[in-house]
Amino acid sequence: MEKIILHLDVDAFFASVEQLDNPELRGKPVIVGGIGERGVVATCSYEARKYGIHSAMPGFLARQKCSQAVFLPVRMKRYKDVSNDIFRLLNRYTDKIEALSIDEAFLDISGYEDKYLSVARTIKENIKKQMGLTVSIGISYNKFLAKMASDWEKPDGFKVITEDMMPDIILPLPVGQVYGIGSKTVSKLNELGVYRVEDLMRWPLEYMVNFFGKQGEDIYHLIRGIDAREVEPEKEMKSIGREITLDKDTDDIQELTEYLKGFSYHISYALRVKDLYAKTVTVKIKTDRFAQHTKSRTLSRPIDKSKDIYKEGALLLKEMQLKEKIRLIGLSVSNISEDYYEQMSLF
Ligand SMILES: [Mg+2]
């Protein structure tokens, strides 16, 4: 392979750290977050996933699904320390590392040429030995396929996708496995008789762009194994956000607010793992008639906590005074800076 990209993802990170620190929790359904009346699951162990529990699920629902699960508070400081150890370890192998979150990264290991497999195995073994955590690793000649490979046999996965495996390996996959194709799009595709990548591969480029919008061109290339994105170690974070296309259009503020709460957790993690703060919060909605609206507020002091991000988001949503049903809701923060005090000193 000309370029060798490794994608690494710690398995059930927060829950695994809890099981590591408390041996009594090993082998048990452990849920981090989701405590309190309106809490949301941050991460859950694989034992809990067997009950259909997943991250961003409301805590009360998780309790219904598995009453014997152990619920724990989020210990961000501890996870961050472990994360720093992992990234320090990764740094011994390459400095071409792009952190995607607290427990996920792309590494460009092209420099190792034909030794890349043993290097990747060593990384996996050392994280297990030194930190006691299992990771899933995917390796390929671009980011898209490396990420797909690490998802392949989670947890504790190790999968390589080489050029000669394409396109056969990707053709039978359900379309939902392709980066950028969400669950709502999947059902629309299914209605058109498109279930697998194989079916999508028959669409000409113009058709893809018509259906997916500007993303269509990317997806057209991705399913053909074409992805020129580089691993970017110092990738500047201009904004951090999440959005979801709803399974069913709604104007239920309560339900929409619940999504904002889930997003605010993820955004907060993404900020805190890099010691970043944000000052601007934005809510984005798309109506069932495809009109897009955004509303932002820039605060006088930078924030990084989920409850602060959530509070602003919920307020903005309320101020938008929805009159139509919503098909998409998103929350993001921008105006991001590294130093809390640096931002504060502006006042
Ligand atoms: Mg993970």
Which residue in 18, 47, 98, 104 is the catalytic one? 104
Report d(CA 141, CA 307) in Å as an integer. Answer: 40
Percent with pLDDT over 90 in the chain:
73
Report d(CA 3, CA 315) in Å as an integer. Answer: 46
Catalytic residue flag (residue 104):
yes
Residues 6+ apart with CB under 8 A from 213: none
Q: Mutual orientation of helices 13-21 and 76-91 as an angle, nearest 10°?
A: 100
Architecture in CATH of 175-222 = Orthogonal Bundle (1.10)
Instruction: State residue 339's pLDDT score.
Output: 57
How many whole angstroms from 151 Cα to the centroid of ligand 1?
10
pLDDT digits (tens, 9 = 90+) for 228-243: 999 988 766 678 999 9
- CATH fold, domain 239-344, is Dna Ligase; domain 1 (3.30.1490)
Domains of the chain: which residue ranges? 5-10+77-164, 14-75, 175-222, 239-344
Read off the pTM: 0.73
pLDDT band at 345 (very low <50, low <70, confident <90, very high): very low
**Which residue did the predictor score with more confidence, 131 or 55?**
131
pLDDT digits (tens, 9 = 90+) for 278-315: 999 999 999 888 788 999 999 988 999 999 999 999 99
Architecture in CATH of 5-10+77-164 = 2-Layer Sandwich (3.30)
| Residue 341: pLDDT over 70 | no
Residue 156 is encoded by which pair of tokens? 């504790």
| Residue 347: pLDDT over 80 | no
CATH of the domain spanning 14-75: 3.40.1170.60
> Sign of the CA dihedral 11, 14, 15, 19?
positive
How many whole angstroms from 267 Cα to the centroid of ligand 1?
15
Q: How many residues does the chain have?
A: 347
Task: At 71, give phi and psi (nearest 5°).
Answer: -95, 130
User: What does the mean pLDDT of the chain come to?
Assistant: 91
Kindly provide the b/e burial profile for residues 99-133, where b requires at least 16 CB atoms within 10 angstroms of the residue's own CB.
bbbbbbbbbbbbebeeebeebbeebbeebeeebeb
How many whole angstroms from 150 Cα to the centroid of ligand 1?
10
How many whole angstroms from 137 Cα to the centroid of ligand 1?
11
